[in-house]
Amino acid sequence: MKTRMIALALCVLPISAAATGKAGAQIFPAQGVSALIVDSSAGEITVQGTTGDKITVEGMRDNAKLCAVDINIKDGKLVINERLKSNHLGGKEKLGFKILVPSTVPVVINAGMGSIKLSKLNSATEVNVGAGSVDLQSVSGALLIKIGMGSLTGKDITSANTNLSVDGNIDLSGLTGALRLAGGMSSAKLQWAAAPTAGEINISVTGPLEMSFPAAAKLNFRLPASGKIANDFVSAADGVPLTVTSALSSTISIRKTKKGKNKDVTK
């Protein structure tokens, strides 16, 4: 079932950059573009990495009463700025936009509320959402994700450095690198596909925490002194630091991806 989101169309497009394409799509050469920046009041935004040399912005342009979108190049950055024209948040319109961008171009998205979907991005990615959901698929650049209220999901996240601040549910798999998570009223499920070898893992949550690592992972634990904790690993002094801060009533599970004997840890 697809989640219905209130999205903003490409309604009015004052363009100060060379653009070509059929009606409803704007195409820009990616050469010389150092970053893609999207500022949106609300809506559904999809950004997909490509192997091409163009940036394509696709969307509907049939409801200029609701919003205006400016697309400009500023200081070498392609900036998409969406502005609501009214407080209209209803209607049957299916509005939104999709951006195809070379996977090596850094991406920054700032959204008041909405649904953000990112895939096949290999460069630095930053997302700031007041309320809504973020979904990540096959991303490998440095990640900075902030969600005031909502959810974060993702698969195949091979970023060496992931920084998250999420007030809501988190479900990520295919992790390989260092991770920092500051969660509000959050529960988190985190699965590493490869044993982390550098950096640190630092997690602060108030809800249940489930983590899994390959059996070969070497981890140096700093866990709460109380709470229900189950751990398949023995702390290694030369391992990657893993620090967990949680509410007193939280449950913490640290498992091997292959079945192993569970050990209770209270330190």
pLDDT score recorded for residue 20: 52
Which residues, listed in sequence order, are joined to residue 168 by a DSSP beta bridge? 150
Angle at 198 (CA atoms; ends 194, 200), nearest 5 degrees: 95
Q: What is the pTM assigned to this prediction? A: 0.85
Q: What is the pLDDT of residue 231?
A: 93
pLDDT of residue 168: 92
At residue 97's C-alpha, the angle toward residues 73 and 104, to 5°, is 55
Measured CA distances, 214 to 12, 136, 172, 193, 265 (Å): 50, 22, 15, 7, 19
Q: Report the distance separating Cα 115 and Cα 42, nearest Å.
A: 8
pLDDT at 24: 64
From first to last of the 267 residues of the chain, give the pLDDT tens digit.
333 332 333 444 444 444 555 556 889 999 999 999 999 888 789 999 999 899 999 874 544 556 677 888 889 999 998 876 665 555 555 556 889 999 999 999 999 888 999 999 999 999 999 999 999 999 999 999 999 999 999 999 999 999 999 999 999 999 999 999 998 777 899 999 999 999 999 999 888 999 999 999 999 999 887 778 899 999 999 999 999 987 666 789 999 986 544 443 433
- Distance in angstroms (rounded) separating the CA atoms of residues 131 and 133: 7
